Amino acid sequence: MKKSERKAMVKAAKKAVTINIQNHIIAAIKQSAAELKADTKKIEKKLVKASGKVAKKFAKMISAAQPVEKEKAPEVAAPAPKVPVAQTASKAKTTKPAKTAEPVVTQAS
């Protein structure tokens, strides 16, 4: 073998090893990404399940709570019949008493 052929073979071997290493790294990254995806799906399912349980508990608490009864207002007798305005004493015109002038007091010096 010539020296140039050996260099080409070494170069090709290095390239193959580099590509092999890169492929292994890519495969490992893809695998870990798939595992993470699976884990996140599991976590999401657990969260959905837990939130559903919490919602059910709140629904039970709300349905179990008894509504507060409002006190009934005492029954009022039928309202008095309306009286025309002209007959009411409060609406009758009253005359105001005339104001008397107050004497002005001056101080003697």
pLDDT in tens, 58-86: 888 887 776 656 666 656 666 666 666 56
The 10 Å CB-count burial string (b at 16+, else e) for 67-95 is eeeeeeeeeeeeeeeeeeeeeeeeeeeee
CA distance 1 to 40: 56
The answer to whether 91 and 85 are in contact (CB under 8 A) is: yes
For the segment 44-55, the average pLDDT, to the nearest whole number, is 87
92: pLDDT strictly greater than 80: no
User: Whole-prediction pTM value?
Assistant: 0.39
pLDDT at residue 55 is higher than 90: no
What share of the chain has pLDDT > 70, as a percent? 60
